[in-house]
């Protein structure tokens, strides 16, 4: 039996941070970072059956063209993803009354819709990027046993190419769900490696008043290539989502609307329009499957 200190429940039986019970979530779930973006997606729904929020974790479940879908805000960063993925898995794969893992496990379909900056001039603002591989620079997933799902060869190549300081922890590389990739892909979407940083400023090469450990890291990432996969963008959640999903048996895919181009120094003239177009694209693909 899983102890109360390990799996914390609220008085109403919901999981502690997400404030959800099993009946509140669909098997198809869209992640967003910003809690205000949840309704940017559910405004397209035909119906909304459930809504709740606790801290930055807001969830709404409803239907779009007959497909039951949940939309959830995760907040920012790999540490929040650790909370969200573990508690979502508990909702479907642990009996919350007996506190025992279920014999028959459920696989959720999880798609992240986010915004990101591109590292390449030929991936312009307002385009869409699909993360075939998440490359974690954050070290969160190293708290788990990940050898069966991580890609040592890519990690070694990245460490060598960037002269990575191992004191920051070993990067980890995890692939997306091939099943979801086939459902969502089209000629509208760029594919590549998404690097996941543990912070927004120094970890992504931004300098304000503090010097950073490797000021050339972004430039070195620009020309990294492994098996014809290059690093297309840099953000703060994808690799953590891929890693925990792979370990727990869920399908995960990350999509980003590119609103900034770090190579050209440009920013989208209408980032909200780019995000809305990615939302509509993703919802229609999910409804068709």
pLDDT score at 265: 86
Task: Check if the beta carbon of residue 99 is closer than 8 Å to that of residue 159.
Answer: no
3-state secondary structure of 180: helix
Q: Which helix (H) or strand (E) element contains residue 117? A: strand 109-118
pLDDT in tens, 253-288: 999 998 888 788 888 888 788 889 999 999 999 999
Task: Check if the beta carbon of residue 235 is closer than 8 Å to that of residue 199.
Answer: no
DSSP for 46-110 reads SEEEEEEEETTEEEEEEEETTEEEEEEE--SSHHHHHHHHHHHHHHHHEETTTTEE-SS--PPEE
Q: Please report the sign of the dihedral spanned by the C-alpha atoms of residue 260, residue 142, residue 209, residue 160.
A: negative
Task: Check if the beta carbon of residue 114 is closer than 8 Å to that of residue 32.
Answer: yes
- State pTM to two decimals: 0.95
Q: How far apart are CA 251 and CA 253, in angstroms?
A: 7
Task: Check if the beta carbon of residue 105 is closer than 8 Å to that of residue 207.
Answer: no
DSSP for residue 274:
H
* C-alpha 82, offset from chain centre: 11
pLDDT in tens, 57-67: 999 999 999 99
pLDDT score at 102: 97
- What's the whole-number mean pLDDT along residues 86-113? 97
pLDDT in tens, 109-120: 999 998 888 878
Q: State percent of the chain over pLDDT 90.
A: 85
pLDDT score at 154: 98
Bridge partners of residue 51, in order along the sequence: 60
Q: How far apart are CA 39 and CA 71, in angstroms?
A: 8
Q: How far apart are CA 194 and CA 229, in angstroms?
A: 10
pLDDT at 72 over 90: yes
pLDDT score at 155: 98
Q: How far apart are CA 285 and CA 183, in angstroms?
A: 7
**Can you tell me which residue has the tokens 């099943």?**
179
* C-alpha 281, offset from chain centre: 17
Return the closest-CA partner of residue 73 out of 89, 87, 63, 60.
Answer: 60
Instruction: For the chain, give the mean pLDDT.
Output: 95
Residue 254 main-chain phi, psi, to 5 deg: -120, 130
Q: Which helix (H) or strand (E) element contains residue 255? A: strand 251-261
Return the closest-CA partner of residue 107 out of 253, 249, 252.
Answer: 249
């Amino acid at each position: 039996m899983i102890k109360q200190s390990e799996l914390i429940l609220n008085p109403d039986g919901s999981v502690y941070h997400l404030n959800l019970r099993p009946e509140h979530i669909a098997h198809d779930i869209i992640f967003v970072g910003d809690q205000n973006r949840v309704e940017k997606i559910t405004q397209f729904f035909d119906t909304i059956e459930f809504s709740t929020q606790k801290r930055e974790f807001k969830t709404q479940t409803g239907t779009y063209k007959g497909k039951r879908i949940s939309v959830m805000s995760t907040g920012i960063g790999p540490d929040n993803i650790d909370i969200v993925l573990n508690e979502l898995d508990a909702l479907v794969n642990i009996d919350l009354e007996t506190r025992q893992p279920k014999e028959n496990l459920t696989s959720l379909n999880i798609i992240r819709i986010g915004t990101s900056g591109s590292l390449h001039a030929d991936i312009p603002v307002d385009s869409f990027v699909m993360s075939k591989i998440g490359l974690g620079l954050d070290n969160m997933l190293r708290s788990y046993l990940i050898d069966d799902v991580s890609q040592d060869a890519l990690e070694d190549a990245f460490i060598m190419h960037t002269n990575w300081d191992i004191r920051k922890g070993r990067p980890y590389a995890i692939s997306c769900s091939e099943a979801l990739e086939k459902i969502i892909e089209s000629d509208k979407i760029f594919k590549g490696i998404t690097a996941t940083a543990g912070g927004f400023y120094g970890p992504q090469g931004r300098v304000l008043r503090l010097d950073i450990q490797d000021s050339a890291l972004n430039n070195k990432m620009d020309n990294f290539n492994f098996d014809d996969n290059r690093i297309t963008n840099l953000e703060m959640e994808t690799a953590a989502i891929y890693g925990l999903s792979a370990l727990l048996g869920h399908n995960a895919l990350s999509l980003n609307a590119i609103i900034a181009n770090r190579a050209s120094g440009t920013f989208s003239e209408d980032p909200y329009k780019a995000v809305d177009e990615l939302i509509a694209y993703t919802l229609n693909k999910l409804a068709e499957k």
